[in-house]
């Protein structure tokens, strides 16, 4: 067991018991009593209010609570890796948000876990290179969150450009590309769009008559069902829609 996880476990065991001896902790964690003495002393020096002494027993001072966000080392590594992937491959606004979130998490962690978080050596692929045109991921992501319709110019694989009005339902990261899953009013069907071929995103509601023509109401679940019927699926199990 890694030291940071062991320190977390010691606190959890002390919280669950009125009085616990070093021998009990050593047996529970499968470590030596000497290691328990050292770990407890480190916890006390880092501000955890542990009372007692070697040979007698330890207890947590009444009323002590761990910060709301306390993680294992594996959980922290997962968060750091996920944050780095988001910062590299999502839209710039989401990158700023994930950096702020990680800073908040780091600020409330006990010192040993802070050090473990900063040492995380897990990295994703290099950051994607965006074209000169404005990145569409931010507007598309916000349209999905706010349940807004979007219009944009789309260039297909053969270079043909069309104007589309789309109900955006989800964004999928597919290798080196992001795909927008949505219901296209031009095709009257579910479609996917490569985000790097989307330009001039604007949001708003289409004409009421066209809205009424979408029956039954579109949804991500219906999109997935439509893709399953088309017998197209990603290796991860996420359906891959037909080309737009």
Q: Of the candidates 216, 218, 224, which has an alpha carbon nearest to the alpha carbon of residue 165?
A: 218
In this structure, what DSSP letter does residue 127 have?
A: P
In this structure, what DSSP letter does residue 189 have?
A: E
* Cα–Cα distance measured from residue 5 to residue 28, given in angstroms and rounded to the nearest whole number: 14
Name the β-bridge partners of 198: 154
Q: What is the mean pLDDT of residues 71-90?
A: 87
CB 28 within 8 A of CB 13: yes
Residue 106 has a pLDDT of 82
Q: Which CATH architecture has domain 3-60?
A: Orthogonal Bundle (1.10)
Name the β-bridge partners of 18: none
Model pLDDT for residues 181-223, shown as the tens digit of each residue: 999 988 889 999 999 999 999 876 655 555 555 667 888 998 9
Phi, psi of 5 (to 5 degrees): -65, -35
Phi, psi of 237 (to 5 degrees): 100, -5
Q: What is the mean pLDDT of residues 128-132?
A: 57
The answer to whether the pTM exceeds 0.75 is no
Average pLDDT across the chain, whole number:
81
Q: Locate the domains of the chain by residue range.
A: 3-60, 73-118, 137-229
Q: Of the candidates 51, 46, 52, 62, which has an alpha carbon nearest to the alpha carbon of residue 8?
A: 46
Which pLDDT band, with edges at 50, 70 and 90, does 169 fall under? Answer: very high
Model pLDDT for residues 88-125, shown as the tens digit of each residue: 888 889 989 998 888 888 877 777 778 878 888 888 77
Model pLDDT for residues 31-57, shown as the tens digit of each residue: 998 999 899 888 888 888 888 866 778
In this structure, what DSSP letter does residue 18 have?
A: S
* Cα–Cα distance measured from residue 200 to residue 139, given in angstroms and rounded to the nearest whole number: 10
In this structure, what DSSP letter does residue 126 have?
A: P
Residue 108 has a pLDDT of 74
Which of 63-67, 73-77, 91-95 is predicted with the least confidence, judged by mean pLDDT? Answer: 63-67
Model pLDDT for residues 132-157, shown as the tens digit of each residue: 556 899 999 999 988 888 999 999 98
């Amino acid at each position: 067991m890694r030291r940071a996880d062991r320190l977390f476990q010691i606190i959890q065991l002390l919280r669950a018991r009125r009085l616990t001896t070093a021998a009990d902790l050593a047996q529970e964690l499968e470590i030596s009593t000497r290691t328990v003495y050292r770990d407890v002393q480190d916890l006390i020096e880092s501000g955890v209010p542990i009372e007692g002494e070697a040979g007698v027993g330890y207890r947590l001072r009444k009323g002590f609570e761990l910060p709301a966000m306390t993680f294992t080392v594996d959980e922290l590594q997962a968060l750091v890796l996920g944050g780095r992937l988001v910062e590299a491959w999502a839209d710039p606004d989401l990158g700023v948000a994930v950096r702020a979130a990680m800073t908040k998490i780091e600020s409330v962690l006990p010192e040993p876990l802070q050090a473990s978080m900063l040492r995380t050596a897990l990295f994703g692929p290099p950051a994607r290179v965006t074209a000169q045109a404005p990145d569409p991921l931010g507007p598309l992501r916000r349209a999905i969150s706010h349940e807004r319709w979007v219009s944009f110019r789309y260039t297909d694989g053969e270079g043909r450009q069309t104007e589309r009005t789309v109900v955006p339902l989800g964004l999928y990261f597919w290798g080196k590309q992001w795909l927008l899953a949505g219901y296209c009013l031009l095709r009257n069907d579910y479609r996917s769009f490569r985000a790097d071929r989307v330009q001039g995103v604007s949001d708003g509601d289409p004409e009421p008559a066209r809205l009424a023509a979408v029956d039954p109401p579109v949804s991500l679940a219906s999109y997935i069902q439509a893709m399953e019927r088309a017998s197209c699926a990603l290796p991860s199990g996420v359906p891959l829609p037909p080309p737009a």
